[in-house]
């Protein structure tokens, strides 16, 4: 039985992994939240691995407050970059497999076709830059049996996210303005969790590999909001607005489509269509409220 550490256990992806872990009895999971595994405390991270042994680390923990990161760069850098570098060194030293989750924000969002793994990175804000630095730290340390998975627009029945925010606002308001000039693909965290758990026993590489994962399809945030309301029978009028009509401290990529051909081919993976996954998530949210 392999021993697996999941960091960021209370986040969206960590929570989905926890909800699925009983279906994978061949693994012994440890789910670590910030109280037991704080990536901002680098000294304690090393101590943790002196007293706990694992075969694999699934690093779901991250500083993800995109706008707040603009004024909190030191903490974002510690969690997204320096701690990731330390995890890579520990993985190399102790022969631990490492799965690290990254983001579409490592790109500038100005592409004309879905991004492939080898496209040049050019993050436009603190969050994207610190996540990119974390990726590069892993590549520099180069531990074996390590993969980086970039994803986008993550949502879940757990935590705070766009889907749950739209459900709340749609019931509170008659009309809502949602950005239509940012295009990407939502990712149901449960689908990503399943993909990670299915990939896990197949990892066998001498140097780190990067993969892209999101659900299939392409939409704007406006389209996403419309679909959420239609599937939930919420009668709220959605008006399309441009990015400059909704200014934020951090800039968002206008184009976040990720090419998933590599992960599908190498792991023989079928990826669900975004609307099918949204329906599944909405059912979960509804069941949680009953």
- Domains of the chain, by residue range, sit at 2-161+186-216+257-272
Q: Are 77 and 125 in contact (CB under 8 A)?
A: no
Q: Is the pLDDT of residue 26 over 50?
A: yes
For residue 107, the model assigns a pLDDT of 97
For residue 85, the model assigns a pLDDT of 96
Reported pTM: 0.95
Positions annotated as catalytic residues are 127
**Quick one: pLDDT band at residue 157, thresholds 50, 70, 90?**
very high
Which class in CATH covers the domain with range 2-161+186-216+257-272? alpha beta
Neighbours of 118 (CB within 10 A): 7
Average pLDDT value for the chain: 95
For residue 289, the model assigns a pLDDT of 59
Neighbour-count burial for 194-215, b at 16+ CB within 10 Å, e otherwise: bbbbebbeebeeeebbbbbbbb
For residue 1, the model assigns a pLDDT of 76
- Give the pLDDT mean for 55-68: 95
- What is the distance between the alpha carbons of residues 30 and 27, in angstroms, rounded to a whole number? 10
Q: Are 276 and 183 in contact (CB under 8 A)?
A: no
**Quick one: pLDDT band at residue 290, thresholds 50, 70, 90?**
very low
Selection from 66, 156, 157, 54 nearest residue 99 by Cα: 54
Distance from chain centroid for Cα 210: 14
**Token reading at 233:** 């029978």
Q: Is the pLDDT of residue 252 over 70?
A: yes
**Quick one: pLDDT band at residue 108, thresholds 50, 70, 90?**
very high
- Give the pLDDT mean for 261-279: 97
pLDDT > 70: percent of the chain: 99
More confident residue, 40 or 106: 106
* Partners of 234 in beta bridges: none
Q: Is the pLDDT of residue 247 over 90?
A: no
């Amino acid at each position: 039985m392999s021993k697996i550490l999941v960091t960021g256990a209370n986040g969206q992806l960590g929570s989905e992994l926890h909800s699925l872990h009983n279906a994978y009895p061949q693994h012994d999971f440890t789910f670590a939240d910030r109280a037991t595994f704080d990536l901002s405390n680098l000294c304690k991270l090393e101590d943790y691995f002196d007293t706990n042994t694992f075969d694999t680390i699934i690093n779901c923990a991250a500083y993800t407050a995109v706008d707040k990161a603009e004024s909190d760069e030191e903490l974002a850098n510690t969690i997204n970059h320096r701690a990731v570098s330390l995890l890579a060194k520990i993985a190399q030293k102790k022969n631990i497999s490492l799965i690290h989750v990254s983001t579409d924000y490592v790109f500038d969002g100005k592409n004309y076709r879905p991004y492939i793994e080898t496209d040049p990175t050019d993050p436009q804000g603190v969050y994207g830059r610190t996540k990119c630095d974390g990726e590069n730290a892993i590549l520099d340390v180069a531990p074996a049996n390590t993969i980086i998975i970039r994803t986008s627009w993550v949502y879940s029945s757990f935590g705070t996210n766009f889907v749950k925010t739209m459900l709340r606002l749609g019931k509170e308001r008659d009309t809502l303005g949602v950005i239509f000039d940012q295009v990407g693909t939502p990712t149901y965290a449960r689908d990503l969790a399943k993909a990670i758990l299915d990939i896990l026993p197949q990892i066998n590489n001498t140097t780190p590999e990067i993969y892209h994962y999101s659900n299939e399809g392409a939409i704007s945030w406006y389209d996403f909001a419309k679909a959420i309301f239609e599937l939930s029978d919420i009668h709220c009028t959605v008006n399309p607005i441009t990015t400059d009509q909704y200014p934020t401290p951090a800039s968002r990529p206008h184009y976040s489509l990720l090419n998933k051909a590599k992960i599908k081919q190498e792991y023989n993976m079928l990826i669900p269509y975004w609307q099918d996954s949204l329906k599944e998530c909405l059912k979960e949210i509804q069941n949680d409220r009953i």
